[in-house]
Homo-oligomer: A and B are copies of this chain.
Amino acid sequence: MSSQGERVPRGRRVGLTRSKVLSAALETIDRDGLQGLSMRRLGAALGVEAMTIYHYVPNKDALLDGVLEEVFRRSQPPEPWTGSWQEQLRAYARRLVDLLQAHPGIVLLMLQRPALTSQTLGMMEYGLKMLHEAGFPLPRALQLIHALVGLVIGHVAAGGAADGHDRLGRLVQEDLSAFPLIGRAVSEAAAETNLEEPFETALAAMIRGFETDLSTSA
């Protein structure tokens, strides 16, 4: 008996696992987008017929919820933080950005599904604790997190994504004569080296706004 962790099946048994199913689904989404995931295609990727998947997941919605949970599970766990709450917030936001940029198809998932799995709730609880200890009342902290998540989603979805094919950027070659400012803004922005800077400055602005919010309510 070499390794007892993995059952090695023979014959027609493939040795599927809920975890393997979710991982394959996530890979498929990363490669072909959310639309590219179907039970039949996922089954094919796993070397199995579509219906087999239903032994590990009750239906496709549950599969998608599981994928979302899988994504958050892979992200590093919330470790004890250090630094000011501003730095912590920045790290929190960057962690979310990295997560979403690594799996672009997930953004749509987050908005479609309730997405209130234990993993996402855990991340939220983490953020709430962070801000509450920094002095924010809990309802305000909830607002800040909503705002921050909104900012992140907006940034990722707007195309400042990792693959660099900014939607607006692709438009520059097309007809923008009717919208001169957009054309100028995009070309001037493209000249800037750091692609992440737009998000960082927006994030910084938001945090600055929170600072005055904290000082006036404290």
Contact = CB atoms under 8 A, between A and B. Distances in A.
Interface string A91-125: 00000000000000001100110101010011011
A181 B129 contact: yes
Contacts of A199: 143
Contacts of A152: 150, 154
B154 A149 contact: yes
B189 A132 contact: no
A154 B218 CA distance: 27
B212 A208 contact: yes
Contacts of A77: none
Given A154-B154, A179-B125, A182-B125, A167 B116 contact: yes
Given A143-B198, A147-B155, A154-B154, A128 B181 contact: yes
Interface stretch (A20-28, A48-56, A65-73, A134-142): A134-142
A184 interface: yes
A143 B209 contact: no
A202 interface: yes
A186 interface: yes
Top-3 shortest CB links A-B: A150-B154, A205-B209, A147-B202
